[in-house]
Amino acid sequence: MPSPEPGSGDALAIGLFGTFQQAATEGASTATIWSRLRQAVGTLPFGQQPRNAKGQFISVEENGAQRLSQMGIGIQQVNTMRAAAGAWLSAKQRLNALGMHESITAQHIFRSPWSQTGIGRANPPQYRIRILRRIAAMDGMTPPSEEWATYDLGGSLGTLSQVIARSNQAYGRARYSAGSFIDSVLQYEIEVI
């Protein structure tokens, strides 16, 4: 899938990818996915009660169904995103099962339909890691928190321990890390940008 035009059904489906990821993680049914999509789109713009053309209040799901139809999101886009979410989950599970000193290979990396690198020799792949860590404060008083962070890795990966070390070093260099330290790394995923 090439980069979608803003406002297109494909762009909206990509914007709702978190809905598909959650569904893949839970093993949700097709009916559940459609319901969640209708609810997500039916609340746009946020904070406004949906109304029909006559100005009458309508349900969020009814509004979402109308908007999905108007934006051209149908079975094809949902099936594409559902398949992508399944591929994301499989790659994430394989990566999290990988030994720390094992090399990261293609089976551990999610390649989305909208990836912009790694297409031909003139455009080598670039990678990004998304990592969940338990962060603790150095003062010992503040309770630890779990935080997701994302880092661009460039075009080389290596072993899992090397990639985690690079992302942890980036955390250590960041201003927001002052007064805290990484207590543990909980999970991670890598994608082609």
Last residue of a domain, one of 94, 126, 155: 94
15/58 same-domain check:
yes
Q: Which residue has the higher pLDDT, 4 or 55?
A: 55
Rounded mean pLDDT, 105-122: 88
pLDDT at 147: 96
The pLDDT, as a whole number, for residue 193 is: 92
Which residues contact residue 1 at a Cβ distance below 8 angstroms, ignoring those fewer than 6 apart?
Answer: 10, 80, 113, 114
- 114 and 53 in one domain? no
User: Interior CA angle at 50 toward 41 and 19, to 5°?
Assistant: 15
pLDDT above 90 as % of the chain: 61
- Candidates 114, 190, 109, 104; CA nearest to 153 is 190
Q: Are residues 22 and 90 both part of a single domain?
A: yes
Tokens of 11: 């762009």
Residues 52 and 74 reside in one and the same domain: yes
The verdict on residue 75 lying in a domain is yes
Mean of pLDDT values over 136-159: 93
> If pLDDT is split at 50, 70 and 90, which confidence band does 169 have?
very high
Please tell me the predicted confidence (pLDDT) of residue 124: 86
Domain of 176 in residue numbering reads as 106-192
Tell me which of 150 and 62 has the higher pLDDT: 150
Q: Give the model's pLDDT for residue 118.
A: 79
Residue-wise pLDDT for 4-45, tens only, equals 554 455 666 778 899 999 999 999 999 999 999 999 888 776
Q: Is the pLDDT of residue 102 over 50?
A: yes
Does one domain contain both 113 and 180? yes
Are 74 and 111 contained in the same domain?
A: no
Residue range 119-148: average pLDDT?
A: 91
Outline where the chain has alpha helix (H): 9-15, 17-26, 30-42, 60-70, 75-97, 160-173
**pLDDT score recorded for residue 2:** 46
